[in-house]
Amino acid sequence: MTAIRQDAWSEEDDLILAEVTLRHIREGSTQLSAFEEVGEKIGRTPAACGFRWNSYVRKNYEQAIQISKTQRQKRNQFKKHTAYASVSSSNTALLDHGEARRSNEPFTEESISMDAVIRFLRQWKGSYHEMSRHIRHLEKELYEKQDELDRLRRDNDVLNKQVNEVETDYRVVNDDYKALIQIMDRARKLAFLVEEEDEHKARFKMDANGNLERID
């Protein structure tokens, strides 16, 4: 029995949860099945996986989810097309063998079924290769978008750091400016006091006889 983990989720756990869930969405499966598969891989309960997906991981993969849903839709369309192609092939085979019968060419029920199967497999092979190329193209776009998202997040972190540094520098400069204004204000007041003291001091001059005489 696998032990149920209670520790914090790691980046690797989140990545496994995202990859498996996106695959189930793309293949038309349920998210519950995805959570059960993830739980077996990383040793957690399906409920814990579902809560982690809905509360945290999902918001980081919104675009990938839309791409997976598009792939699922195309896959369903492909299945419908394949089923239609199978019916068409069977009808064509019957017509071809009808012509052969009118030409007195021998045929059997086994040969009719085999011909229909061959036609179906050939058409399915071509459609499968086309769908595989389209899926690879979408997966490439998904990885490119993910790389771009990671780059934007790194740029955002750098810009946030720069903004914080600028705000810190601004506060320091603002504090220095205020301190300088206070110093200048005190110096101005001190200069006024000195001037007033000089005005109230007694002034003297020397007369012709060498005596000091006060000047009012």
- Residue 187: pLDDT band (50, 70, 90) is confident
DSSP code of 28? T
The total number of residues written for the chain in this structure = 216
Q: Is the pLDDT of residue 214 over 80?
A: no
Q: Is the pLDDT of residue 95 over 90?
A: no
Integer CA distances (angstroms), 170 to 62, 153, 176, in order: 38, 25, 10
- Residue 36: pLDDT band (50, 70, 90) is very high
Q: What is the pLDDT of residues 106-157, one digit of tens each?
A: 444 444 456 666 776 777 777 777 787 888 888 888 888 888 888 888 988 8
What pLDDT score does 195 carry? Answer: 64
Q: What is the pLDDT of residues 39-73, one digit of tens each?
A: 999 999 999 999 999 999 999 999 989 988 888 88
What pLDDT score does 16 carry? Answer: 94
Residue 13 token pair: 């756990």
What residue has token string 């520790």?
7
Share of the chain above pLDDT 90, in %: 22
In the chain, where are the structural domains located?
A: 11-167
Strands (E), 27-135: none
- Phi–psi pair at 108, nearest 5 degrees: -130, 165
Mean per-residue pLDDT, 91-120: 52
- Phi–psi pair at 212, nearest 5 degrees: -85, 135
The answer for residues whose C-beta is within 8 angstroms of residue 38's C-beta and 6 or more apart is: 16, 17, 20, 21, 44, 46, 49
Contact 35, 53 (CB under 8 A): yes
More confident residue, 1 or 168: 168
More confident residue, 4 or 87: 4
Q: What is the pTM of this model?
A: 0.38
